[in-house]
Structure 1
C-alpha cells in the first residue's frame, strides 16, 4: 500500500485503490446534500415562524449529537462491521430526510426527524474514517486524507452556494428530497464498492457495553501522551484559528461591506485549506509536512492576528476588506497542518479502537468550534469585531505552544502493530 521509495503518492495511485473511490465519492455527495438540507431547513423554519432564533437553532441542531454523545455513538463503528454501519446509516437517513420533505410536516416533528438524522452522523463518520485507515496506508493515506479535507471544504462551499439558488427556484421540500436522494445513492454505491469485513471486535468473548467502550476510547487517549498532544493541538489550534467565523457578519459590517460579502469572507479559509492540503499531500509528503508542523500552525494563526490589526488600523474600505480576505486565505493554507496531524493520530491508535478514538476527536472538534464561535460573539458585544479577531490570533499563538512542544516530544510514538482490516467476509 505504500509507495515503497518514500515519495509522496500520486492522486492516481490513491484512486486506484478500489474501496477508496466509494468512500470518497459518497462523502463528497453526502456533504453537498447536507449543506443543501441545512439551508433549506433553516429557510423552511424561518418561513413558518419568522423567528431568527428558531432558524439558528435549526441550523445548529445537526451538531448536537456530536457535542453531547459523539464518543458513545462512535463506538458503534467498532462493534459492528464498518461497511454495514455505513450502509445502514445512509439507508435510514434517506428515509428520515424523505419524511422531512413531506409538505406540511408539523414543526416539532420536523425538528425531531432532524435530530434523528443527526444521530447517525457520529457512527457513520467514525466508521468511514476508520475504514479509510484500513484500506489505505502510508503516503496513500496522507494523500487520501488531503483529498477528503479538500472535498469537505469545497463541498461546503458548493452546497451553500447551490442551496441559496435552489431554495429561491424550488421549494425547501424539493431540496430536502434532493438530500434524501444523495443518501440513497451513497448507500447503493457503498454496497457495491466496499469489501465485507468483520467487526474489529469479532472474536471477543463478551463485547463490552457502549458506555464501557466509550470510556475505553477516552482512557486510551487519556493514557497516551502522544494522543493527548495530538488532540490538544487539534482542539486548541482549531479553536483560535476558526473563532472569527462566528463574527464574520459584524466584521464585514465593520469593514463597510454588504452582507453578500460575508460568504466570500467565510470561503477564504476553506479555499486556503484546499490549496494547502493539495500542496502538502502531493509535493511534500508526510514526513516533511510533519517537520513543518510548528510553521504551519503559526501560519494558521498569525494572519488572523494581522487581519484584526489591519481593520483596527485602516478602518472600513474595499482595500482593507480585500487584505483581510487574503490574510484569511493564507491562514487557511497554514490550517492544512491537520493533514499530517491526522496521519499521526492514525499511527498512534490501534486499529480496533479507531472508530471510538475518531469519535472522541471529532466530537471535541465540533464542540470546540461551537465554543469558539460563541466566545467570539460574546466578546464582540463589548469589543469591536476586529479587536476580537486580533485577540483570537494573538492568544492562539501563545496557547498552541504547549501542545506543539508536547507533540514534538512524543514524535515517533505509534500504536502496536496489528492487522489493519481483517479478512474478507460475506
Structure 2
C-alpha cells in the first residue's frame, strides 16, 4: 500500500521548521525588495545600466564566485550560529547603504558583500532540514519552500517597484534591514544549539581549501550524487529562454508586457507543479514520475522552434515549469544521500553549478539569437536539455531504478 504524502499541517507542527520557514520568507522578501530598490538607486545616481544590472544580479553572482568556498562555514561552525550571524551581517551592511552620499561603486560593493552571506545562509538552512523533518515531511517542505520562493520572486519585484515609486529606495532598504533582524531573532529563539557538523567527519579539518575540495570530492566521487546533480543542472538548460525574452516578445509583435508574461509562465508552472507533486502524489508515485518529468521539462518546448501562436508558447512554457517541479523530490534524494558532515558544502556545490549553468545558457541563447530567430533558439535549447537529460538517465540507469532510490525514513512520533 502506497504511503500517503505528508500534509502542511504536519510540517508546521515542527517548531524548528516554523521558525526557519518564517525567517526564510522574511529574508526572501527583503532580498527581492533590495534588488529592485538598489538597481533603481544606482541607476538614478550613476545613469549606468551596467552598474544597475550588476547591483541587481549580485545575488546570483555570489553563488558562482563564493558558493562552495563560503558554504564551508555551514559545516565548520554550528549551523544555528551561521544563520544568525549571516542575518546580522546583512542587516548591518544594508543599514550602511543608507548613509547619504555614498559613491555608487561603493554601494554596489557593499551590496555584493551582503549577498556573499547568501551561500552560507542557504547552505546551512538546507542542511538542517533533513535533520529536523522526518519521513515525507522533508520533500513536502522542499516543495513548499520552492513554491514560496517562486511566488516571493514575482510578488517581491512587483512590491519593490511599487514601494520605490510611491516612497523611496532608502525606505525599502530600511525595511530590508528589519527583515534580517527579525529573521535572526526567529532563528535564535526557535532553533536548538548544536555542534559544528564537521566534528562528525571521518577526516580531521584541514585548510579552508582542503575542506572545500573535500565537499566537491564527496559529491562527484559518489555515482548517485553525481547523477542527481547532473540531472538537475542539465535540465536547467531550458532557462536559456530567459536570455532571449526581449527578442522573443518582439518576434511576436509584443513589448514589455508580453515579455513579462513569457517570464512568468515557467515560475508559475513550477509553483503549481510543486503543489501537485508534494500534496497530491504519494511518495512512491512522486519517485516514479521524477525521470519522465525531467525529460518533459525540455521536450515539451521543442514545438516552439516551429513558431506556434503566442498562446501556445505560453502554455508550453507553463507545462515545462510544471514538469520542472521534478527537482523537488530530486532535491530530497540528494539531501538525504549526502553525509551530514558535508551537507552544506554539497548544497553549495549544487547551487553554484546551477547558477553557472543558467547563466551560461542565457548567454549562449542571447548570442545565438543574434543570428537566428528567438523561437528557433528556444527550440534548440530545449533539444539540448532533452538530449543531456536522456544521456544522464541512460548512463546512470541503475542509480534511478526504483529499487535503488532511497526511501524516506519513518515519520518521527
Whether TM-score is above 0.5 comes out as yes
Q: Which moved more, 1:41-50 or 1:197-206?
A: 197-206
Tell me how far apart the structure 2 counterparts of residues 237 and 211 of structure 1 sit (CA, whole Å): 30
Tell me how far apart the structure 2 counterparts of residues 230 and 266 of structure 1 sit (CA, whole Å): 26
Q: Which moved more, 1:38-47 or 1:146-155?
A: 38-47
Alpha-carbon contact 1:348-1:413 (below 8 Å) kept: no
One of 135, 140, 143 as aligned partner of 1:138: 135
Alpha-carbon contact 1:253-1:259 (below 8 Å) kept: no
Aligned-residue offset at 1:304 = 2.0
Tell me how far apart the structure 1 counterparts of residues 265 and 398 of structure 2 sit (CA, whole Å): 33
2:219 aligns with: 221
Aligned-residue offset at 1:5 = 7.6
1:340 aligns with: 329
1:231 aligns with: 229
One of 292, 314, 325 as aligned partner of 2:314: 325
2:349 aligns with: 360
Do residues 194 (structure 1) and 191 (structure 2) align? yes
Tell me how far apart the structure 2 counterparts of residues 146 and 238 of structure 1 sit (CA, whole Å): 17
Aligned-residue offset at 1:413 = 5.4
Tell me how far apart the structure 1 counterparts of residues 268 and 32 of structure 2 sit (CA, whole Å): 17
Tell me how far apart the structure 2 counterparts of residues 201 and 17 of structure 1 sit (CA, whole Å): 25
Q: Secondary structure at the match of 2:192?
A: coil
Given the superposition, is the C-alpha separation of residues 408 and 282 from structure 1 closer, same or farther in structure 2, using an over 3 Å criterion?
A: farther
One of 171, 181, 184 as aligned partner of 1:184: 181
Q: Secondary structure at the match of 1:260?
A: helix
Q: Secondary structure at the match of 1:133?
A: helix
One of 248, 252, 255 as aligned partner of 1:251: 248
Alignment of 1:391-406 (within 5 A): 391-406=380-395
Tell me how far apart the structure 2 counterparts of residues 28 and 413 of structure 1 sit (CA, whole Å): 35
Aligned-residue offset at 1:7 = 1.6
Tell me how far apart the structure 2 counterparts of residues 333 and 57 of structure 1 sit (CA, whole Å): 30
Deviations 1:134-162 (A, max 9, x none): 10122100100000100110110110111
1:27 aligns with: 24
Structure 1, unaligned stretches of length 5 or more?
315-319, 419-426
Deviations 1:158-212 (A, max 9, x none): 1011112111111111111111111111111111111111111236795222211
1:174 aligns with: 171
2:161 aligns with: 164
Tell me how far apart the structure 2 counterparts of residues 403 and 103 of structure 1 sit (CA, whole Å): 53
Deviations 1:356-398 (A, max 9, x none): 1111111111111111111111111111111111111122211
Tell me how far apart the structure 1 counterparts of residues 182 and 298 of structure 2 sit (CA, whole Å): 39
Alignment of 1:63-82 (within 5 A): 63-82=60-79
Q: Secondary structure at the match of 1:388?
A: helix
Q: How many residues align?
A: 405
Q: What TM-score, normalized by structure 2, do the two folds share?
A: 0.94
1:16 aligns with: 13
1:422 aligns with: none
Aligned-residue offset at 1:254 = 1.2
Do residues 307 (structure 1) and 304 (structure 2) align? yes
Tell me how far apart the structure 1 counterparts of residues 177 and 34 of structure 2 sit (CA, whole Å): 9
Q: What TM-score, normalized by structure 1, do the two folds share?
A: 0.91
